[in-house]
Structure 1
Amino acid sequence: MRYWLFKSEPHKWSFDHQKKAGDKGQEWDGVRNYQARNFMREMAVGDRGFFYHSNEGKAVVGIVEVIATAHPDSTADDPKWECVDLKAVMDVPRPVTLDEIKAEPALKDMVLVNNSRLSVQPVGDAEFAKVCEMGNLDPKTAMKG
C-alpha cells in the first residue's frame, strides 16, 4: 500500500462533500497537471491518502481511500486526463496545518513542504504516520487498508 495527499479547495470540494459521497465515492476529477496525473496512474485500490484543504485552512483534515484505479476523467474533453475514485475513510481529529508540517523536522523532505502547489502527491510511510500522530489519529488505524 502507498500513501498520497489530495488537495482541494474546500469551497469547491470539501472533506464534508467527500464524506457525503459515501462508499460509492467520487472521481478526483479536474486535475490538469501531468505530474499529478502520473501519480494517480501509480495508485492501487486500497491506497490511502490525506485529504488536504488548500487555500482556506491549509490543513490535513481527513483520510481517503482509492476505490478505483486511474480511468478517463469525466470532466475532460481530452482522454489524456485521468483520475482515480476516492471515498472518505475517517476524519483527522485535529487538523494538521501546513505551518505545523513545515515546522516538524521529521517532515522536512515531504513533497507538501517542498512543492506545495502540486495537487496530488506521494507521502512516505513515516511521513503519513507522523502527520497522523500530529492530528491525534492512531497511525495503525489510519494506515489499514
Structure 2
Amino acid sequence: MAYWLFKTEPDTFSIDTLKQMKVSPWEGVRNYQARNMLRDEVKLGDQIFIYHSSCKDVGVVGIATVTKASYPDHFQFDPESPYFDPKSDPNNPRWFMVDIEYQRHLRLVSLKRMKANPALADMPLVKKGSRLSVMPVTEAQWQEILTMTGQF
C-alpha cells in the first residue's frame, strides 16, 4: 500500500461531495506527470489525503481509498466535457483516472502548518513550485499529518 495526496478545488469537488457520493472517479487530471502517477503507480487499496486548494482553508481535509486502479478517463473522448482532448485516441488513451472511496473527514491541516513542520520538509507539496494535483506521500509524512490533526 502506498500513500498519496490528491488536490481538488472544493468549489468543483470537495471532501463533502465525496462523502455524499461514497465512491467517485478521480477524473480530469491533465498534467502528464500526475497522469503517469495515476496510470503507473496509484494502486488498489492505496490511501489518499484529500487536499483542498484555491480556497479560504487550504490544506488536508480528509482520507479516501483507491477502490479501482487506473483506467482510461472517458471524459477525454466526450466533446461536451471540459476534460475533452481532441488529440486523445480511444485505442491509445492519453488520460487516466482511478476510483476513490470516502473514508473520513479530518480536522484541517493547513498548508501553512505543513510548511512549518520540519518533518514534512521533503514533501513535494511544501516545496516551492510544486503544483501537481497528484503527489506521493511517504509513510512517515502520512503519520505526521495524521498526528497534526490531533485526532490520532
Q: TM-score, normalised by structure 1?
A: 0.90
Is the counterpart of residue 12 in structure 1 residue 12 in structure 2? yes
SS at match of 1:75: helix
Aligned partner of 1:52 in structure 2 is 51
Is the counterpart of residue 129 in structure 1 residue 127 in structure 2? no
In structure 1, what is the Cα distance between the partners aligned to 2:35 and 2:48?
15
Letter in 2 for 1:18: L
In structure 2, what is the Cα distance between the partners aligned to 1:80 and 1:121?
19
Within the candidate set 112, 116, 119, 2:133 is matched to 119
Letter in 2 for 1:99: K
Is the counterpart of residue 31 in structure 1 residue 29 in structure 2? yes
In structure 2, what is the Cα distance between the partners aligned to 1:12 and 1:117?
17
Is the counterpart of residue 66 in structure 1 residue 79 in structure 2? no
Could you say which structure has the larger radius of gyration? 2
Alignment size in residue pairs? 135
Letter in 1 for 2:120: L
Gaps of 5+ in 2: 78-87
In structure 1, what is the Cα distance between the partners aligned to 2:15 and 2:130?
19
Aligned partner of 1:143 in structure 2 is none
Q: Give, in angstroms, the shift of residue 123 of structure 1.
A: 0.2
Moved over 2 A (4+): none
Q: Over aligned residues, Cα RMSD in angstroms?
A: 0.9
In structure 1, what is the Cα distance between the partners aligned to 2:140 and 2:146?
10
Q: TM-score, normalised by structure 2?
A: 0.86
In structure 2, what is the Cα distance between the partners aligned to 1:54 and 1:116?
12
**% identical equivalent positions:** 45
Q: Give, in angstroms, the shift of residue 117 of structure 1.
A: 1.0
